[in-house]
Amino acid sequence: MKRTPLLRKTPLKSSGIKAPAKKKTQRAKKMLLKKTIIEQYGLPSILCSRWGTAKSPSRSDILKGMLWNVFARYIRQRDAGICITCGSYKTFEELQAGHFAPVGDSDIELCFDEKNVNGECSTCNANFDGWHLVPMKRNLISKYGEKTVLDIERKRESKRVIKWDESVFVEKIFYYHQKLRI
C-alpha cells in the first residue's frame, strides 16, 4: 500500500512555526570564511580551490589556498610557457607549477619557494616515478646554480615543521599579486 504524505492545512509562515534551518554545506562555510578574510585584510578576490576542501576549512587553509593560486599563476607567468624538465613550450593554461623537492603538509617554506617551484608541463609534473627529477635537476643547476639546488635538497631533508601566521600569508598574497602582469 502506497502512503501519501500528510498535507499541512496552514502554511508554516502564518502558523508561527519556523521552518527548520538549512545546514550550510562545506563549500558555503568555506566561501563565507573566505569572504570574511578578504574583508578583514582588504585582499583581492582570489580563487581558493586547493586547500580546505576535504575537511572543515580553517583560516590558514583559506589563506594558503589563495596564496597558492596567486603564487602558481606568478610561476607560470615567470617561466613563459617553458617546461623546466623537458624544455617544451606550452600555453599559460597548459603549464603547471611543479615542485623539484616534494613538499608535505609540514614544509610550507619549500611549498612556496620560487626556486623549488618552476613551470612544468602536465606530463612531467604528473610523473610520480621520479624520472623527471634527473633532467629537472640538471636544468635547475643551469638556471640557478648548484649551490641553490643543494640548499633546496638540504631543506627537504631537514624536515622542519614551520607554521606561518596569517600576516605572513597576507603579505605574500599581496606581494605575488603585485608581481603578476595582469
The pLDDT-based confidence of 53 (bands split at 50, 70, 90) is: low
Q: What is the mean pLDDT of residues 132-155?
A: 93
Find out whether 144 and 115 touch, Cβ atoms under 8 Å: yes
Q: What proportion of the chain, given as a percentage, has pLDDT over 70?
A: 82
Find out whether 66 and 48 touch, Cβ atoms under 8 Å: yes
* Unique residue bearing C-alpha cell 624520472: 131
Question: Range of 76's domain?
Answer: 27-179
Residues composing the chain:
182
Q: Is the pLDDT of residue 1 over 60?
A: no
The pLDDT-based confidence of 29 (bands split at 50, 70, 90) is: confident
Number of domains in the chain: 1
* Within-domain flag for 175: yes
pLDDT digits (tens, 9 = 90+) for 57-112: 889 989 999 999 999 999 999 999 999 999 999 998 999 999 999 887 568 889 99
Show the cell assigned to 128.
Answer: 610520480
pLDDT at 170: 97
- Mean pLDDT across the chain, nearest whole number? 85
* Within-domain flag for 118: yes
**Angle subtended at Cα 51 by Cα 50 and Cα 56, rounded to the nearest 5 degrees:** 140
* Within-domain flag for 49: yes
Find out whether 152 and 115 touch, Cβ atoms under 8 Å: yes
Find out whether 170 and 41 touch, Cβ atoms under 8 Å: yes
* Within-domain flag for 18: no
Find out whether 129 and 121 touch, Cβ atoms under 8 Å: no
Find out whether 14 and 29 touch, Cβ atoms under 8 Å: no
Find out whether 41 and 67 touch, Cβ atoms under 8 Å: no
Q: Is the pLDDT of residue 36 over 70?
A: yes
* Within-domain flag for 37: yes
* Within-domain flag for 3: no
Q: What is the mean pLDDT of residues 116-133?
A: 85
Q: What is the mean pLDDT of residues 120-132?
A: 82
* Within-domain flag for 34: yes
Provide DSSP, 12-47: HHHHTPPPPPPPPPHHHHHHHHHHHHHHHHT-----
pLDDT at 37: 94
The pLDDT-based confidence of 131 (bands split at 50, 70, 90) is: confident
* Within-domain flag for 103: yes
pLDDT at 9: 54
pLDDT at 125: 87
DSSP state of 50: S
Q: Is the pLDDT of residue 10 over 70?
A: no
Instruction: Round to whole Å and give the CA distance between 51 and 30.
Output: 10
